[in-house]
Amino acid sequence: MDYELECKDVTYTYPLAQKPAIKELNLKIEKGKLYGVIGENGSGKTTLCSILRGFAPSFYKGDLTGEILVQGKALASYKDQISRKIGYVFQNPFTQISGIKNTVFEEVAYGLENFGIDVEEIEKKVINIMQLTDIMELAEKSPFELSGGQMQRVALASVIVLEPEILIIDEPTSQLDPQSTESVFKIIKKLKEEKKTIILVEHKVDLLAEYSDEMIVLHDSKIIKQGESREVLSDLSLREYGIRLPEVTLLSEKLREAGLDIDQLPITKNQILDLIEKKRKGE
Amino acid sequence: MEKTFTEKIQICKKNKIAGLYPTTKFQVVILFSISTIVLNSIKLTDFKLALLLIPWFLLVPFMFAITGEFKKCMKAMKAISFIAIFIMVVQTFIVSGGKTLWVWHFIAIREKGLQTGLSLCFLILNIAGIFVWLFQSTSTKEITRCLEDTKMSFKVAYIFASTLEMIKVFSSKSKIILDAQRARGVETEGNLFIRAKAFIPTLVPLILGGIIGSEERVLTLEARGFSMKGNKTHLFNLKKSGYERIILTISIIITILILAGRIYLWIMN
């Protein structure tokens, strides 16, 4: 089976660093799935994203051993064409604008201009994406005048418009308020429905539990657990590594401790509602 | 019919001089600067003053006016005028040499001082004035697009455009940092010494933040295919106003006449 992304025994060390930032990474990313990445600060989440996109070592330099494959081909072989395959959204909304465009419309269209796409097609694609990301009313505003949440939506739109098959999103909501966070996750949900392959780094585990298909847990530069979201996030032993578990899971654990018979701990609101419903019916 | 977004971002100037192609404006600026330097070498009266620079300077506000940007340009000229006048006063009273023209106690105006002061003041006013005209009547967007049209590397064009845009960003960021430092108890109001002391805690986060932000911006651009090879599309395109040839011809003729006058005076002397 050809995976969208595959890492084989990858170890990466930043220049001048004593220890590797990522150690013995083995990872297989399947098409159309949303992978949540969690871990403590400094566990290697952003480095993992940089490696998967090829920024490390091409931009950051440093030493990388092992093999990274994108749709079966070596990542390095894509050269400048990699931006067509993999989209990347960064953590900080304020540094993600090009800095040279006067309107949000132009900002979103910037990548397509670089790709050399026809003007009519650019206009069509940008309008579609602005509608999808709910930024149509911002189209003629200056990107410098936007709030953090609006800027992050513009950043997402600017990447999605390039129609990459794989999308890496690194803590997109870390600097946003709850309302903006919700709007960003709405976009991610729409992308998931479009069967995009998404790798999402996020600290908000409750939201990850809701949206992700699989989870990757990093600790001390290594993957310590990987698998189906419910299986991973209901593993209470992850707390030993400083990982926060969903509120629903913690509540269910308390209920189990109080004597309720729960086979597998739920991780989402719907799952706990199902559980309550079953218990109510006496199943 | 409603305009498309691409149509909306085009710049259409009614004023034909303001709408000149940026390259033509730049050529006018260069010719004007050459003429200014040549006129500066023509010394009139017994005191050998570059007096021709004074009527020549009248062309600058004339250019502002015919471009329809008089107020905006004059506002930008305020600071330049202050510097030019300051330099003239300092040079006039400090530079010694030649005849003494006027004395009051220990203050004296000497021939050499007056020559240097007047010459420097009007050189600055003329050359800076014409650059003000160029930059106030041409947007960054137009200059950048023009640079790309001249086959300049897109990386250089980007650096030029982003540097100009970042000035605005840094200015608003510095205000935020200043407010934050004030909230932490750093004194920012008061005499010059207090303000200078507040400058460092403002400047350090601004510069460091700029450096950190620039790394992420580079990667953002990379993610959007910035260094992709091949032809790029441009949504924004420049149009010529149709007056480029006439304006350039007039500028060339004036420059040639000034040069010819200068050569004539050399021969006659």
A chain contacts of residue B237, beta-carbon cutoff 8 Å: none
- Put simply, whether A114 touches B (Cβ < 8 Å) is yes
Least confident of A97-101, A147-151, A243-247, B207-211: B207-211
Nearest CA among A247, A85, A253, A252 for reference residue A166: A85
Residue of A nearest to B167 (CA): A99
- Whether the predicted pLDDT of B165 surpasses 90: no
pTM of this structure? 0.86
The one-letter amino acid code at A26 reads: N
What the block records as the tokens of A280 is 């109510």
Tell me the ipTM for this assembly: 0.85
What the block records as the tokens of A36 is 């949540």
A chain contacts of residue B168, beta-carbon cutoff 8 Å: 144
- Whether the predicted pLDDT of A67 surpasses 80: yes
Q: Given pLDDT bands bounded at 50, 70 and 90, which one contains residue A1?
A: low
Mutate to test the interface with A, among B9, B175, B229, B235 (most CBs of A within 10 A): B235
What the block records as the tokens of A23 is 């150690």
How far from A145 is each of A141, A150, B199, B212, B218, CA to CA, in Å? 7, 9, 26, 21, 21
Phi, psi of B48 (to 5 degrees): 55, 60
Contact B238, B145 (CB under 8 A): yes
Least confident of A4-13, A227-236, B68-77, B145-154: B145-154
Residue of A nearest to B237 (CA): A119
Mutate to test the interface with B, among A47, A61, A90, A95 (most CBs of B within 10 A): A95
Nearest CA among B112, B129, B131 for reference residue B53: B129
Our CA angle for B247, B253, B256, nearest 5°, is 140
Phi, psi of B255 (to 5 degrees): -65, -45
Nearest CA among A189, A194, A182, A203 for reference residue A245: A203
Contact pairs from chain A to chain B, CB under 8 Å:
109
What the block records as the tokens of B130 is 């014409």
Phi, psi of B247 (to 5 degrees): -60, -40
Domain locations in chain B as residue ranges? 14-138+238-259, 145-223
Phi, psi of A8 (to 5 degrees): -120, 105
Average pLDDT over residues B160-173: 85
For residue B5, the distance in angstroms to the closest alpha carbon of chain A comes to 7
What the block records as the tokens of B117 is 């002061």
pLDDT, one tens digit per residue, over B225-253 is 998 888 999 999 999 999 999 999 999 99
- Domain A30-65+76-233: which topology? Rossmann fold (3.40.50)
* Three-state SS letters, B237-250: CCCCCCCHHHHHHH
Q: What is the pLDDT of residue B108?
A: 87
DSSP state of B235: S
Would you call B227 and A103 a contact, using CB atoms and an 8 Å cutoff? no
Contact A65, A20 (CB under 8 A): no
Q: Given pLDDT bands bounded at 50, 70 and 90, which one contains residue B186?
A: confident
**Which residues in B have their CB inside 8 Å of a CB on A?**
4-6, 8-9, 140-141, 144, 158, 161-162, 165-166, 168-169, 213, 216-236
Q: Given pLDDT bands bounded at 50, 70 and 90, which one contains residue B215?
A: confident
Domain locations in chain A as residue ranges? 30-65+76-233, 246-283
- Put simply, whether A136 touches B (Cβ < 8 Å) is no
Mean pLDDT of chain A: 93
Average pLDDT over residues B201-230: 87
Name the 3-class secondary structure at A20: coil
B chain contacts of residue A97, beta-carbon cutoff 8 Å: 220
Q: What is the pLDDT of residue B198?
A: 77
Q: What is the pLDDT of residue B2?
A: 84
